[in-house]
Structure 1
Amino acid sequence: MSNEARFESLGLELPPAPKPAGVYKPVVVVNGMAYLSGHGPLLPNKTLITGRLGLDLDVEAGYDAARQTGLAMLATLRSHFGSLDKVKRVVKLLGLVQCVDGFPDSPSVINGCSELFGSVFGEDHGIGARSAIGTNSLPGKIAVEIEGIFEVDA
């Protein structure tokens, strides 16, 4: 099954592909690798999920924010390449979680994105290397920011 067909079968809604909020490109492709800049949990109505894990949000809400961030990343990939079928595999994700000091569950939060990509790209190609880090601040008070590296048919 193609990536686009898997995506369609999941009945998911993509937000609009986010526009850069600074001086950077959303995607840079080098030697068959697509490097995605950090994305936040952009909703279809163009608002962002904000809050601090362990204070304003629980792990389930953080998981949902990471999943929504993954959808924003998919929107960028589809917008840039014209199809999710151009993605061969997820190589690496870096997930940042805005949280209180000592918050132990950043990996559980970022699973929201990783599990989404596993569903869209398949277990073998959708799960890559990953880091999940807690931080005390993210731009615009967003709950999660995730960047990624993807192998692509450019």
Structure 2
Amino acid sequence: MARIEAKLAEMGLTLPEPLQLPPGVRMSLPFAWVRVRGKRAFVSGHVALNPDGTIAQPLGKVGAEVSPDEGYAAARLVALAQLASLQRALGNLDRITAWLRVFAMVNVAPGFDQTPRIANGFSDLILELFGADIGTHARSAVGMALPLNAPVECEAEVEIE
């Protein structure tokens, strides 16, 4: 078993299946979840998923329907969803040699200004799995309205071998 997959198993974490849209929701998705170009993989925006690929609860704005702790937990699930897509695209997460950039978007209630705290759910998990040498990344965390009323969406860029 590869190193990162073994670490996920040790932590009791499961990578989710691909996104399953809610019943009745139809979206055209004319893009790749992961686009590999040279030594880089660009990861499209992902939301928090359950192991079966359905969108994780709770939904809503952080600071209103979703607590900051729930937002942090959602960001961790977003990291797992991205890792699942990267594993499908790369075949092995150990091919990741550096996390370069993460762009975290948080669905915020008016006046909520703790987006970095929420995005730390993503960053903390990546650092725990990959260590500082590979896992340290540049990051932005902004507040906005998000599709499907997801509390958090993140995109990323990684270097690969």
Shorter-chain TM-score above 0.5: yes
* Structure 2 counterpart of 1:13: 14
**1:43-91 Cα deviation digits (max 9, x unpaired):** 1133223211011011100000000000000000111111111111110
Task: Report the Cα offset of residue 8 of structure 1.
Answer: 2.6
Q: Residue 72 and residue 56 in structure 1: after superposition, are their counterparts in 2 closer, same or farther (change >3 A)? A: same
Contact 1:93 1:146 in 2 (8 A): yes
Q: Counterparts of 2:72 and 2:137 in 1: how far apart (Å)?
A: 18
Tell me which residue corresponds to 1:119.
Answer: 128
Moved more, 119-128 or 64-73: 119-128
Task: Label 1:68 to 1:9 Cα distance change in 2 as closer, same or farther (>3 A).
Answer: same
Look up the match of 1:86: 95
Task: List structure 1 runs of 4+ shifted beyond 4 angstroms.
Answer: none
1:138 aligns with 2:146: yes
Checking the alignment, whether the CA contact within 8 Å between 1:6 and 1:119 is kept in structure 2 is no
Assess if the C-alpha contact under 8 Å between 1:17 and 1:79 holds in 2: no
CA RMSD of aligned residues (A): 1.7
Give TM-score, length-normalised by structure 2. 0.88
1:42 partnered with 2:43: no
| Letter in structure 2 aligned against 1:51 | G
Aligned residue pairs, count = 152
**Counterparts of 1:67 and 1:127, CA distance in 2:** 15
Aligned counterpart, 2:24: none
How far did residue 21 of structure 1 move? 5.5
Give the Cα–Cα distance (whole angstroms) in 2 for the partners of residues 152 and 55 of structure 1: 38
Query: How many angstroms apart in 2 are the aligned matches of 1:21 and 1:126?
Result: 32
Q: Percent sequence identity over matched residues?
A: 35
For residues 76-123 of structure 1, the C-alpha deviation after alignment (integer angstroms, 9 at most, x for no partner) is 011111111111111000000001122111000010010110111112
SS of the aligned residue for 2:82 comes to: helix
Gaps of 5+ in 2: 21-26
Q: Write the letter of the residue equivalent to 1:10.
A: M
1:148 paired residue number: 156
Structure 1, 8-17 or 78-87: larger mean CA deviation: 8-17
